[in-house]
A and B are shown apart, each in its own frame.
Chain A
Amino acid sequence: MNVFRLAGDVSHLVAIIILLVKIWRSKSCAGISGKSQVLFALVFTTRYLDLFTVFISAYNTIMKVVFLAMSYATVYLIYMRFRNMYDSENDTFRVEFLLVPVIGLSFLENYAFTPLEILWTFSIFLEAVAIMPQLFMITKTGEAESITTHYLFFLGLYRALYIANWVWRYHTEEFFDQIAVVSGVVQTIFYCDFFYLYVTRVLRGKAKMILP
């Protein structure tokens, strides 16, 4: 555990809490892609199956359970509790275009051809692209509420901090996880364009982020 990794996990936690609290307090999930949230729930579910097989640390176990619980709570709020506000007409990204290649890749490129390893790899690849329905939705509607952009900012920050964590671990413990690092870098690239808009628009006091 290093400071980048801890800060990355905290950013991830903050992002998910921002989204949950926003939906809960506004009683609305307008502008939120339910598809991205289902994909994230799938990411956590397939990655954290090792909760049943290995014990790494209390921190690790607690964070995994919290991420799982909060991602399912988010999906529940969007599709059940506040489904009347769900913006399905703009949440039209075809997730099969993500799932099919990601399933194929996880069978081809993994550390061991076992169910748990393939599912872990699937979760890593899927996380890299799971935000695409949300970014697609923002592009389609041409705007995003500032709270939604704060959520995306912390999610992107979490990815960037994980890269710093990997650089640190490479130099201090010669740790290098090729699958996680390559997908992590790809994932972070998706946020770059958004980061630019966030800094130039949202941080200058706009209530909404309107796309150029």
Chain B
Amino acid sequence: SDSPNGKDEL
């Protein structure tokens, strides 16, 4: 799942 501050984005 996604980390709170968008660290799944590049």
Is B one of A's binding partners?
Answer: yes
Chain A residues engaging chain B, CB cutoff 8 angstroms: 5, 9, 12, 50, 54, 56-57, 60, 63-64, 67, 111, 120, 162, 165, 173, 175, 177, 179-180
The reply to whether B10 and A120 form a contact with Cβ atoms under 8 Å apart is no
The reply to whether A5 and B9 form a contact with Cβ atoms under 8 Å apart is yes
Chain B residues engaging chain A, CB cutoff 8 angstroms: 2-10
Q: How close is A4's CB to chain B, nearest CB, in angstroms?
A: 11
Q: How close is B7's CB to chain A, nearest CB, in angstroms?
A: 6
| CB neighbours of A64 from chain B (8 A) | 10
The reply to whether A60 and B6 form a contact with Cβ atoms under 8 Å apart is no
The reply to whether B10 and A179 form a contact with Cβ atoms under 8 Å apart is no
| CB neighbours of B4 from chain A (8 A) | 111
The reply to whether A63 and B3 form a contact with Cβ atoms under 8 Å apart is no
6 contacts between A and B (CB under 8 A): A9-B10, A56-B7, A111-B5, A120-B5, A175-B6, A180-B5
Considering the complex, give the chain A residue whose CB is closest to the CB of B7: A50
Considering the complex, give the chain B residue whose CB is closest to the CB of A120: B7
The reply to whether A56 and B6 form a contact with Cβ atoms under 8 Å apart is no
| Known contacts A56-B3, A177-B6, A180-B6, then 17 further A-B pairs from the complex at CB < 8 Å, ordered by chain A residue | A5-B9, A9-B10, A50-B7, A54-B3, A56-B8, A57-B8, A60-B8, A60-B10, A63-B10, A64-B10, A162-B9, A165-B9, A177-B5, A177-B9, A179-B5, A180-B5, A180-B9
